[in-house]
Structures are given as structure tokens and as C-alpha cells.
Amino acid sequence: MMHTPTRLLALLAIVLLAAPASFAQAEKEAAYVPAGLDDPLNLSTPEETVRSMFRAMYLGDATLVDKVFLPDAQLRRVTNTGEIRPDGLQAWRDWVGAQSPGDAVEEIFEIEVQATGRLASVWAPFVVTYKGAVVGCGVNEFVLAKAEGDWRIVFAMDNAAPEGTDCTTFKTDYTKD
């Protein structure tokens, strides 16, 4: 039979050994990463290439942006007034590179992919969170080409949701039947 001090030491050892695992779990939950955003670069399908672009944004990694887009690719925006903003890929790439991991999260959903041969189109509604606050929503469209075995973005355009749209409910509202 164990003496009381021995039992107390055994109990203390169990608590101390279990504590780091508990603290690590709590820390992991506090630093939640949306599913897939910490996965490696994947250019195997049009959808995975687009997801890799948002991984680059999430990680604040401009070099990954370079790997996802073909040279001379373009990034444009259609504003709510109908203005088509000129190519903003370099500015967006530089902005991504200035972010810390986790600052910018763009969640895409209800993704539609059309592909034939080496050409694909990806339609992806989105909600953007910046430093924990929802800051925008709308729809992205990507044109991709398969080059040297990988799918890469040739052209991307986004359209912000109409003024007055509640971006905190955009995903739910968009996916309603």
C-alpha cells in the first residue's frame, strides 16, 4: 500500500505531466487555423491552385503568390459602380508579403469549377477577415491554364458584394436555397 506522501507525489507527477499537453491543446485552440490554410502549395487542380493563392495570403508569403500566378497574369476588380480597376496583382502581392501569418483570411465556398483540356474557370464566393474582423465579401472569378504540369492563374477578378450587404451573414445568405 502507498503511503500518503508517495500518493501525493504520484498525483503531482501525473498533473505535471498532463499539464503541458493541456496547455498545448489550449494554445492550439486559441491559434485556430481555418481548415487547409496551412497545407502546402498544391497546383494539381484548378480549385487547389486557387486555395493555394489564399494560403499564400493567409501565410503572408509573396513568394507563394509568385508560384500560383503565371508571369504577366492580371488581377482586377469590378467595383459596385461598374468601374473596372486596372491590374493590381503587383500591389496585392506586395501587400500579402507585408502581412503576418493569420492577419488576412479569405474563406471561399460554393466553389464552381469548369475545365476542359488545359483551360479552367473557378467561381468562388468569399468572405475576408482581417486581423479577426470581417472586412469584405463578394465573388472571385479565376481563369487558369495548365502549364508544365501545374495549374496556374492567368487572370483573376473579384466583385465586392453590393453596398448594404452584411458580410457577416454573406456566406449563409449566399448558400440559402
Kindly list the averaged pLDDT for each block of 10 residues, start to end, along the chain of length 177.
43 35 36 63 96 95 96 94 91 96 95 97 97 95 96 96 94 85
Q: What cell does 8 get?
A: 501525493
What pLDDT is attached to residue 156? Answer: 97
Residues 158 and 82 in one domain: yes
- How far is the C-alpha of 161 from the C-alpha of 139, rounded, in Å? 7
pTM over 0.85: no
Domain of 142, CATH number, reads 3.10.450.50
- Whether 81 is in a domain gets the answer yes
- Whether 41 is in a domain gets the answer no
What pLDDT is attached to residue 60? Answer: 96
Residues 11 and 76 in one domain: no
What pLDDT is attached to residue 98? Answer: 97
Residues 12 and 52 in one domain: no
What pLDDT is attached to residue 40? Answer: 83
Number of domains in the chain: 2
Residues 15 and 57 in one domain: no
Residues 119 and 163 in one domain: yes
Residues 52 and 28 in one domain: no
- Whether 37 is in a domain gets the answer no
Residues 90 and 139 in one domain: yes
- How far is the C-alpha of 80 from the C-alpha of 59, rounded, in Å? 29
Strands of the chain (E only): list them. Answer: 69-78, 84-85, 104-108, 112-116, 119-130, 133-147, 150-160
**59: CB partners within 8 A, 6+ apart:** 37, 38, 101
What pLDDT is attached to residue 87? Answer: 85
Residues 82 and 4 in one domain: no
State the residue range of the domain holding 150.
46-175
Residues 116 and 144 in one domain: yes
Residues 19 and 81 in one domain: no
Residues 81 and 151 in one domain: yes
Residues 91 and 151 in one domain: yes
